[in-house]
Homo-oligomer: A and B are copies of this chain.
Amino acid sequence: MEEFILKIKKAFPYLTDTTISKLMSLGEVQLLQEGETFIKQGERHNRIALVMQGLLRNYIMNDNGEQITVVFATELQSIAPYKCLFLQQPASETTEAVKSSVLITFDYPTMRKLGEEEPQFNKLYMDALEKTLMNAIERVEDFTIAKPEERYQRLLAKHGYLIEQAPLKYLASYLGINPVSLSRIRKRISTGKRK
């Protein structure tokens, strides 16, 4: 617990000790084993999670019933069924632990309400949102700028830890390609390249 507080302090240095302890009293610590879910598609839900340890992913289903990993979240990133929170709809995605993980989860309406009295809560939420937005934009940029093979290279360069920890099939759907293609790409890269 102490350890988590330190991590949060480091990531959000403007939070005072009293705010942090308020925060911790509002949050619920949740442990997930590999494969366990934080929220399932179709459920209604109003919690937002801050990842303290481990690796999660959000996935949706395509028309063939295959799982498509839309986003990964690792330490100090937040993850939530955003459309569900913002539009009060059932979640369209499932959030699942890729490996055993620890989250702190917060009730979204409560956080927004408290933010009105506690500027620091608001700031925290906005910072998290802005970070999430930047990640999403970067991801869109990758899709528009780079072809599959280059996307894999960029992923390798920027988030190498993902390649180590997530199975290939998750990575493939994350990159928008099929697993067989990714396997081929890996081979092209490892063997002298081209042709």
Contacts and interface: CB of A to CB of B under 8 A. Distances in A.
Interface in A35-81: 60, 62-63, 68-71
A124 to B, nearest CB: 12
Interface of A: 60, 62-63, 68-71, 82-83, 86-87, 112, 115-116, 119, 122, 125-126, 129-134, 136-137, 139-141, 143-145, 173-174, 176
19 contacts: A60-B141, A60-B145, A62-B145, A68-B141, A68-B144, A68-B145, A70-B140, A71-B140, A82-B134, A83-B137, A86-B134, A122-B126, A126-B126, A129-B133, A136-B140, A139-B140, A143-B143, A144-B173, A144-B176
Closest 9 pairs between A and B when the two form their complex, measured CB to CB: A136-B136, A143-B143, A116-B119, A133-B133, A144-B176, A86-B130, A68-B144, A62-B145, A143-B176
